[in-house]
Amino acid sequence: MVLLRLFLIVLFGFSFIQGQPFEDIESRLQDRLYRDVDVAIIISDLSRSNSLYKVQPHLDFIPASLTKLFLTGTCLDYLSTSYRFKTKVYLDKEDIPSLYVKGEGDPNQTREQFILIAKALKKKNIGVLKSIILDASKIQMDANLYGNSARYYYALGGALNFNYNQIRLMVNEDQKQLTVSPESSFVDLDIRSLRYLSSKKRGFPKISLHQRPGFDKYIIRGAVSKQDEMYTNLNLRVSRPTHFYASMLKQVLLDHDIRVIEPLSFERFYNKKKKRLLTLTSLPLFNYLEDMNQDSSNMIASSILKVLGKLKYGEPGTQRKGLLLMDQFMHKRLDVQTDMFKFKDGSGLSSYNRITADHVSRFLTYFKKKYPESIKTMFVDIKQSSDYDDMEVPEHYDIYVKSGTLSNLGVNNLAGYVNDSRIGKSYSFVILTKYRDNKEPAYKGTLSNPLLQQILASIQKMSLN
């Protein structure tokens, strides 16, 4: 064992407290599973503010969705959790008025909010509108970097967003049909030759997204089943969020017998000679941050990052402006020099993001001290998640985690907290892993979960000593 430890120190940069029971982790890292994998690990005792075990703490890794933790810290540092997005709606003073909507970057406006617009118009006895003018100039629209991919986690964000700019397909096995939610004239399905399987199988259908004048076409081939719906295979993004927003708003108005005479317009407008009809107010920012982390929503992350940039540096809100704030957070709150990390987005989709296990560990310590009450909402309780069903967890342990996976790049990360209620101690842990040379995909939990299991065993042994 002494020779093994010397070998690991030289090869992997291990550091541990002499006599502490971390042999399980050291042995696990010799498994064939990790033969072509770069690994960084830090385990810290938060009650003593010291590290118990380190493996390559300063090696650069792609953080994937762990990036959202740093965005969360930036957001809480700069804004109140009660902050709300306010979308202002106006009417002009013409005989047949036009409706004006000025987008502020709310990630998720809803049908219920559109119904409020319809009711406000009805209250003024307005049944006909000349046009609807939508101003999306305050927040820069995300660039489409993902071609014809329809996957929901590539949903784009802008100033005007409806239903997180996503749709969901639902399978009717008996009638062999796909239905769309929310129902929308903006969506057209091409399902020629699509086969419907029993719910015992997954079809893994191939779905591509194509822009057409006035609508999105989804070409769906192969086979589909109810299981595809359950596993979010049928949650899809739209290609043009502002147009989707406009089509849904127009449909809700028509449902309430309010006609629009002329085509909708997408342009910047000024408030002069217009009267406020109402303001659509979002849920508190805290709710969005919770959803962003619990569901790992890239669209929410992108939207919030740009809104932060607008609030700090002025219109329009852009990714670049938001990233400046994240850089400031890293430097001022975590004491990390700006040349020691790299963020290219706020969601973690970028393969150019770089952090170290030490950076994540610093964040976990900071977050525990500053926002201890938010751990249960911003992190996932593994006892409540099916992703960790195979994990053996002592009854007196409460474990909250945030994962970060980019399967196609071989990236599989996990970080979080272990609370031992029996002895009243808290620990943080960081696991960063990546296949070398992108040789293999790394699906969620493939590399990180076995290491977390060994970390739990090591902490348990240590508490018994």
DSSP assignment of 81-99, as one string?
A: TT---EEEEEEESSSS--E
Q: How far is C-alpha 411 from the chain's CA centre? A: 16
Helices 298-313 and 319-334 cross at an angle (nearest 10°) of 80
pLDDT in the model for residue 67 = 98
Q: Where are the domains of the chain?
A: 2-79+290-464, 85-282
Q: Could you tell me if 411 and 437 are in contact, meaning their C-beta atoms sit under 8 angstroms apart?
A: no
CA distance linking residue 290 with residue 296, whole number of Å: 9
pLDDT in the model for residue 47 = 87
Neighbours of 301 (CB within 10 A): 28
Give the strand pairing for 215-221 and 187-190: parallel
CA-closest candidate to residue 75, choices 295, 301, 282, 299:
301
Q: How far is C-alpha 357 from the chain's CA centre? A: 20
434 strand-pairing partners: 38, 411
CA distance linking residue 322 with residue 302, whole number of Å: 9
Token pair of 181 as six digits: 């939610």
**Helix residue ranges per DSSP H, 343-388:** 357-370, 375-378
Q: What is the mean pLDDT of residues 453-462?
A: 92
Secondary structure of 284-324 in the HEC alphabet? Answer: CHHHHHHHHHHCCCHHHHHHHHHHHHHHHHCCCECHHHHHH
What CATH topology corresponds to 2-79+290-464?
Answer: Beta-lactamase (3.40.710)
CA distance linking residue 264 with residue 5, whole number of Å: 69
Lowest mean pLDDT among 171-175, 282-286, 305-309, 426-430: 171-175
Q: Could you tell me if 299 and 170 are in contact, meaning their C-beta atoms sit under 8 angstroms apart?
A: no
pLDDT in tens, 101-116: 999 999 999 999 999 9
Helix (H, G, I), strand (E, B) or coil at 377: helix
Burial status of residue 11 (CB atoms within 10 A of its CB: 0-12, 13-18, 19 or more): exposed
Q: What is the mean pLDDT of residues 350-371?
A: 98
* Of 4 and 59, more confident: 59
Please, which residues have CB within 8 angstroms of residue 54's CB and are 6 or more apart in sequence?
13, 14, 15, 16, 41, 42, 43, 357
In this structure, what DSSP letter does residue 263 have?
Answer: P
Residue 374, H or E segment:
none
pLDDT band for position 427 (cuts 50, 70, 90): very high
> Nearest 5 degrees, angle CA 295-CA 300-CA 301?
95
CA-closest candidate to residue 157, choices 283, 302, 12, 6:
302
Instruction: Report the amino acid identity of residue 155.
Output: A
> Against a cut of 0.75, is the pTM above it?
yes
Neighbours of 164 (CB within 10 A): 23
Q: Could you tell me if 292 and 68 are in contact, meaning their C-beta atoms sit under 8 angstroms apart?
A: yes
Instruction: Report the amino acid identity of residue 364.
Output: L
pLDDT in tens, 366-380: 999 999 999 999 999
State the chain's mean pLDDT as an integer. 93
> Nearest 5 degrees, angle CA 46-CA 43-CA 294?
80
pLDDT in the model for residue 13 = 52
Q: What is the mean pLDDT of residues 293-313?
A: 97
**Helix residue ranges per DSSP H, 201-240:** 226-230
Q: Could you tell me if 161 and 282 are in contact, meaning their C-beta atoms sit under 8 angstroms apart?
A: no
**Helix residue ranges per DSSP H, 162-240:** 226-230
CA distance linking residue 184 with residue 373, whole number of Å: 40
pLDDT in the model for residue 19 = 44
